[in-house]
Amino acid sequence: MLNIVRERLRQGHRTGTFPKEAPKLPERFRGLPTIAQNLTPAECAEVAAACPFAALGCSDSQLQIDLGRCLFCADCPAAARGALTFSGDYRLAVRKREDLLLEDKAHRLADKLDKRMRKLFGRSLKLRQVSAGGCNACEADLNVLGTLVFDLGRFGIQFVASPRHADGLIVTGAVTENMKGALLETYAAVPEPKLVIASGACAIAGGPFRDSPEAHNGIGDLLPVDLYIPGCPPHPYTALDGLLRLLGRL
C-alpha cells in the first residue's frame, strides 16, 4: 500500500491543462485543412473526382472540401499537388452540416446551445454512446475521454449505460441495416429534451461505406443532429472541444 501511495506521489498530477491551455499535439496530427486555390479548372475537377469518398468538390473552379466526408488521409492528388494541406488545429466540431463544407472561408466553430438547454445540460450532461456499425476507432477515442489525461467527468459530462438515464446520444458508425432499429429504439428511450451528436466521418456521412446497400450515409436522415464532430476518428481533444463549445463552456 505504501508503495502504491509513493508511486502516485512520484507520478504527480497527470490530467491535461485543457481548456486553460491548448493541447500540444504531434506534428503528424492532421487537423483543419487549408485549401490553396492554385489549380486550373481542369486540375480542380480532376483532383475532386479522384477522392473515392467524394470529400472534394469543385465549384466555379474553386476547390471545396467536405469535412464530414474527409478521412484526413492526405493520400489524394489535391494534397500531392499542394492544394490541400492539414494544419494542427484540432477544433473541427460544428452545429450545422453545411458548416462542414470548406472552401477558403474561415471555419465556423460550434455554437452553444440555447439558454434553456444550457440551463438543463450545461453543468451535467449524460450521454449514451451507440456504435451503429463503427470500426471501434471512434469508440476507442471517445473511451479515452474518461481516462485521467482528459478526465471528461470534471466537466460534468459522463457516459451512461442506459438511454433512460441519458440526456442524449453520441453516435459512431455509418448505421448498418442491422443497427438501424437498435439506434432508433435507443433514441426513443432517451427522455425529452435530448441531444444527438454524430462523431466521426461514418456517423456524419457514411465514411468509406457511403452509398453501401448495407449501411446508411450516417445519421443525418434518421435523427436530428445537434453537433457534428468530424474526423476518422476524431481526436479526443476534437470531441472534447466540441462538447464544451456545445455547452457554452468555451
What's the pLDDT band for 7 if we cut at 50, 70, 90? confident
What pLDDT is recorded for position 236? 97
User: What's the mean pLDDT when you consider all of the chain?
Assistant: 93
Q: Give the tens place of pLDDT for each residue, 203-247.
A: 999 999 999 999 999 998 999 999 999 999 999 999 999 999 999
As a whole number, mean pLDDT of residues 147-174 equals 95
Q: Domain-by-domain residue ranges, the chain?
A: 115-247
Give the predicted TM-score (pTM) of the model: 0.93
pLDDT tens track for 90-109: 999 999 999 999 886 788 99
Cell readout for 15 is 490530467
C-alpha closest to that of 239 among 145, 157, 163: 145
Angle at alpha carbon of residue 124, lines to 138 and 110, rounded to 5°:
55
Mean pLDDT over 113-126 rounds to 96
Q: Which of the pair, 13 or 135, is modelled with greater confidence?
A: 135
CATH architecture for the domain at 115-247: 3-Layer(aba) Sandwich (3.40)
In 3D, which of 106, 97, 99 has the Cα closest to residue 196? 97
